[in-house]
Amino acid sequence: VGMVLLYGVGAFWTTGPLRSFFGLFSAIVGVAIILFVINMYSVLREEPEEKETPAPVPTPVPEAKEPVVEIKLSPQMKIAEIVEKWPHLQEALIQEGLGNVANPAAVNTVGKMISLEMAAKKADIELFPLIASLEGKKLLNADEVEKAQAEAEAAVSGNPKFKHGEMAQLTTLIGDLLEVYPETKPVFETHYGAACFTCPGHKTETVEQTAAMHNLPSEMILGEINEKIEAALKS
């Protein structure tokens, strides 16, 4: 604009201050043109930015659900056997009051000899509500408790029956033994006391279990029982 005005008043053709101003504006315009060319060159040479392709969002994989493990306990199962089959029940056994046989220090020693029934009896815990609790069930009334007891007794009765003429084993049930050889009763009275026979569970306990419950060597008890059996067979 300055150049045009000065040119209009004849500054280009004259001398003096007007000519100097015209030269100044000419220089400014020249510099502006040079800067414009440089800017255009830079813009034209600039490579377009590559757009980043967004990373694919991984499809969430549904977590695999753990299979539901059915727990089926029986009164004759050893504490160690229960913990071996269902390790998560060890803490449950301790919480139910059986910590003396289910704790890590005892489960592989005493727990191998003590059955669930024996442990419950020593801890003064009702057996069948305990089993129901460990199995994740809840017995609501006396009828359900009686039904659970009947099922357990039926399972025990499915074991091979002890017969006359056979010698006792550590796994022989006391009830079967006394039924076939009543002569062996004094062995139990001597070591366990007469009150042992008032317990309703003694019929479903084995020779080994009763010995362990009374902290006696099972082989010693078995030996005395078989001595009575041999004497009965000879008479």
* CATH code for residues 69-158: 1.10.3910.10
Residues pairing with 115 in the sheet: 78
Contacts of 116 (CB under 8 A, 6+ apart): 73, 74, 75, 76, 77, 78, 79, 82, 127, 130, 131
Cα 14-17-19 angle, rounded to 5 deg: 40
Q: In degrees to the nearest 10, what's the CA dihedral of 73, 76, 78, 82?
A: 0
Residue ranges of the chain assigned to CATH 1.10.3910.10:
69-158
> What is 160-235's CATH topology?
SP0561-like (1.10.3910)
Residues 92-129: pLDDT tens digits? 888 888 888 888 888 888 788 788 888 888 888 888 78
Of 214, 174, 212, the closest CA to residue 192 belongs to: 214
Band (pLDDT 50/70/90 cuts) for residue 181 is very high
- Quick check: 68 pLDDT over 70? no
- pTM strictly above 0.85: no
Asked if residue 25 has pLDDT above 80, the reply is no
Nearest CA to 116 out of 139, 158, 85, 147 is that of 85
pLDDT band at 221 (very low <50, low <70, confident <90, very high): very high
